[in-house]
Amino acid sequence: MSIKQAECRTLLVLLRFALAALALLGSWGFQPLADSLFQITHNVGNMVREMVGEQVENAAPDAATVCPLYYRMVAEDGSIYYYYTQYYYTYDGELVGLSDALGNVVAPARYRDIVALPATFLVRDDSGWRFLSLDFQPLSDDVWDTAELQTDERGFIARDVVKVAQNGRYGATDLTGAIRIAPLYDAFDPYPLDSDWDIIRVRQDGSYGYINSAGEIVVPLLYDYALNSTLLVYEDEEDTEGHEIPVIYVMRGDDWGLIEKTADGGAGAVDWTQEPPAEVVAAWQTESGGGE
């Protein structure tokens, strides 16, 4: 081995250490910076591998094809850790797989689509979406028409539920594919990720209500329309700024009402004296074709 090759191999080892450090950087919340540095490190790593004569397989495409895996782990002692890694989509014609930042195969390119999860893969083939183990074995017989992971703008897995659909009905699984909420609903809309009220708006046979992530009823399906929003409240007369609380506006017939969140995460009684703001009325008109 030449001196040049030896130096390049040393550089390759250092680059691999850099990848581990960047993963830690991403877990601390600096994901945009980590994404960019991952891409640079990946490209430099492939250049070095070519210089030392190593085969570069499944080289990662540009940054638009990045598949991040970013989630929170809770240890047995209650400690919270954030895990971040970054994969790249690879292609064989119309089929897709995953590689790591150095081009090593993580998942073979034999799927229509693929999502990396903490302990599984969510893949789509010609039959639909299914959950696979890390050695690519089916975890159940369930096949879904659609599957939607709940992530924020950083790619962080914000909820441990996956919205799934089968024959036009919606429900949810956990991240391993186990069914949490049976596909019973015509519509299924998780609460915004920035809210502290983790409930899901559902519609069944034309009636709206809310359930929690375990499928338990929070607001009965009794309403012609329902929409989550916020309400600005004031503690007392000296409170000039106020603060927002999560609420749900409901409609039955021609009447509108408001439901507040209770201390235990449930829902209070309907206050039929509260009128909805203009944006809620506009949303109702858009979604259900309501009149002026």
248-275 tens-digit pLDDT: 999 999 999 999 999 888 999 999 999 9
Q: Which of the four pLDDT bands, split at 50, 70 and 90, describes residue 66?
A: confident
- Is residue 147 a part of any domain in this protein? no
Instruction: Give the structural domain span for 242.
Output: 192-292
- Is residue 215 a part of any domain in this protein? yes
- Is residue 53 a part of any domain in this protein? no
- Is residue 253 a part of any domain in this protein? yes
- Is residue 242 a part of any domain in this protein? yes
- Is residue 208 a part of any domain in this protein? yes
Averaged confidence pLDDT in the chain: 81
Count: domains in the chain = 1
How many Å apart are CA 107 and CA 92, to the nearest integer? 12
> What global pTM score does this model have?
0.73
Q: State the pLDDT at residue 78.
A: 80
Q: Which of the four pLDDT bands, split at 50, 70 and 90, describes residue 18?
A: low
- Is residue 1 a part of any domain in this protein? no
DSSP assignments along the chain, one per residue:
--HHHHHHHHHHHHHHHHHHHHHHHHHTT-HHHHHHHHHHHHHHHHHHHHHTT----S----GGGEEEEEEEEE-TTS-EEEEEEEEEEEEETTEEEEE-TTS-EEEEEEESEEEE-SS-EEEEETTEEEEE-TTS-BS-S--BSEEEEEE-TT-BEEEEEEEEEETTEEEEE-TTS-EEEEEEESEEEEPPTT-S--EEEEEETTEEEEEETTS-EEEEEEESEEEEEEEEE-SSTT-SS-EEEEEEEEEETTEEEEEEBPTTS-B---BTTPPPPHHHHHHHHHHH----
131-141 tens-digit pLDDT: 999 999 999 99
- Is residue 44 a part of any domain in this protein? no
